[in-house]
């Protein structure tokens, strides 16, 4: 609003004020549909879940009691939930760096190729496009302890030099190879492996897109400035240029890692793997909220989940604005 000068006649001042009010009303009318939708679809469910997390509500019950923070207390005291946090943390801490690193590595390799680029891109991207549930079934067959491809292949190494240099092989040949999906020592790592296998192709594509924005002349400048090794050029040019991509890739991968569910549901429909070693948050929400109809506890885990994801998103926003846009 421009400042109204004192010499202006009163009528004109009124007209200006009236016009501004009209404009304000129009603005509200125009944003109303979007605002309504946002409240109904996004905000209201979150608020409701937040409220429900302080109750003992079950679907079908006519009423509920407020239980205060008891649901949250459970989350932080019971051993089951300790396992939940451990499994989720293990998965996130393993899958995020490995799939980001692999994604970057393959993107750099593919980018350096002259020919066959498209073929490699397609190959690595295939697992991303596949339905994870169907892939989980395929993996279940492959990981079968006696007839699965994985253990069969390992058995071929028995009697060779591998037995001498690799204790795992020696143990497997002497006794038997692991029951991958039934052993609590291996189950979470199998899930991590499948998560990486399925996810890094997506990161690769994002990095490939990021690499196209690296100015070629910068590499020449780096060479003229005396950066002789590929590592120096990567540190001086490629890595900084990929900063915004990396922040995005890490955030997206983190959120996806927190969301892991399909494989666990496909492998162990009845409860989070051997000795609950793969009892991740998403599965816990599903089990408590849907299977056992404990909406209160399910909502509490959901709120916690939301807090994690929100925290990650905020870090990303901060990083993008402060660190990697170089302004």
Partner 1 sequence: MAGLSIENITKRFGETEVLKGVSLDIADGEFVSLVGPSGCGKSTLLRIIAGLEEQCTGDIQIGGHSVAGRRAADRNLSMVFQSYALYPHLSVGENIAVPLRMRRMKGLQRLPLIGGFLPGARAVAGGIGRDVTLAAEMLEIGHLLDRKPGQLSGGQRQRVALGRALVREPAAFLLDEPLSNLDAKLRVQTRAEIAQLHRRLAATFIYVTHDQVEAMTMSDRIAVMMGGRILQCAPPDAVYEDPDWIEVAEFIGSPKINILPLEILSNGRLSLLDHALNLAVIDGSRGVASLGLRPEALRLTGGDSPIRGRVAHSENLGSELFVQIEVSGLEERVTLRAIPEQRKALALGTPVALDFDTDNALVFDADGARMRGLRHLNAATSEVA
CA distances from 5 to 2, 22, 232 (A): 9, 21, 62
Q: How far is the C-alpha of 135 from the C-alpha of 52, rounded, in Å?
A: 35
Tokens representing 130 are: 């596949």
Q: Is 312 in the site for partner 1 (CB under 8 A)?
A: no
Residues that bind partner 1 (rule: CB under 8 A) add up to a total of 21
Q: How far is the C-alpha of 48 from the C-alpha of 5, rounded, in Å?
A: 50
Q: Is 322 in the site for partner 1 (CB under 8 A)?
A: no
Task: Give the rounded distance of the alpha carbon of 20 from its chain centre.
Answer: 46
Q: How far is the CB of 104 from partner 1 (least distance, A)?
A: 17
Stretch near partner 1 under the rule CB under 8 A, chosen from 111-119, 170-178, 227-235, 257-265: 227-235
Q: How far is the CB of 219 from partner 1 (least distance, A)?
A: 9
Q: Could you say which of 65, 73, 171, 223 contacts partner 1 (CB under 8 A)?
A: 223
Q: How far is the C-alpha of 292 from the C-alpha of 56, rounded, in Å?
A: 12
Q: Is 226 in the site for partner 1 (CB under 8 A)?
A: yes
Q: Is 115 in the site for partner 1 (CB under 8 A)?
A: no
Contact at 8 Å (CB) between 244 and 214?
Answer: no
Q: Could you say which of 225, 290, 307, 310 contacts partner 1 (CB under 8 A)?
A: 225
Contact at 8 Å (CB) between 218 and 241?
Answer: yes
Q: Is 73 in the site for partner 1 (CB under 8 A)?
A: no
Q: Could you say which of 39, 129, 221, 307 contacts partner 1 (CB under 8 A)?
A: 221
The dihedrals phi and psi of 196, each to the nearest 5 degrees, come to: -65, -45
66 DSSP β-pair partners = 55
Q: Which is nearer to partner 1, 194 or 211 (CB)?
A: 211
Task: Give the footprint of partner 1 on this chain (CB under 8 A).
Answer: 215, 217-218, 220-228, 232, 236-237, 240-241, 243, 324, 326-327
């Amino acid at each position: 609003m421009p400042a109204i000068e004192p010499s202006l006649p009163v009528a004109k001042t009124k007209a200006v004020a009236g016009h501004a009010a009209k404009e304000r009303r129009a603005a509200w009318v125009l944003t109303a549909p979007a605002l309504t939708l946002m409240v109904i679809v996004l905000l209201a469910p979150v608020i409701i879940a937040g409220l429900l997390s302080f109750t003992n509500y079950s679907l079908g019950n006519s009423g509920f009691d407020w239980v205060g923070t008891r649901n949250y207390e459970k989350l932080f005291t019971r051993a089951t939930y300790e396992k939940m946090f451990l499994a989720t943390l293990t998965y996130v801490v393993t899958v995020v760096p490995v799939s980001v690193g692999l994604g970057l590595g393959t993107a750099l390799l593919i980018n350096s190729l002259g020919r066959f680029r498209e073929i490699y891109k397609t190959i690595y991207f295939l697992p991303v496009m596949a339905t994870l549930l169907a892939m989980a079934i395929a993996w279940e067959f492959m990981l079968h302890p006696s007839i699965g491809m994985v253990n069969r292949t390992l058995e071929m190494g028995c009697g060779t030099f591998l037995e001498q240099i690799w204790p795992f092989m020696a143990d497997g040949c002497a006794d038997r190879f692991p029951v991958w999906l039934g052993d609590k020592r291996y189950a979470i790592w199998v899930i991590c492996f499948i998560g990486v296998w399925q996810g890094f192709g997506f990161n690769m594509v994002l990095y490939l897109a990021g690499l196209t924005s690296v100015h070629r002349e910068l590499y020449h400048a780096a060479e003229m400035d005396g950066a002789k090794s590929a590592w120096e050029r990567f540190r001086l040019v490629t890595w900084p240029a990929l900063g915004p991509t990396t922040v995005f890739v890490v955030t997206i991968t983190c959120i996806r890692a927190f969301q892991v569910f399909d494989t666990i549901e496909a492998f162990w429909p009845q409860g989070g793997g051997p000795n609950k070693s793969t009892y991740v948050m998403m599965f816990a929400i599903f089990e408590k909220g849907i299977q056992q109809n404990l909406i209160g506890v399910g909502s509490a885990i959901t709120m916690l989940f939301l807090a994690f994801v929100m925290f990650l998103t905020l870090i990303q926003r901060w990083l993008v604005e402060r660190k990697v846009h170089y302004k």
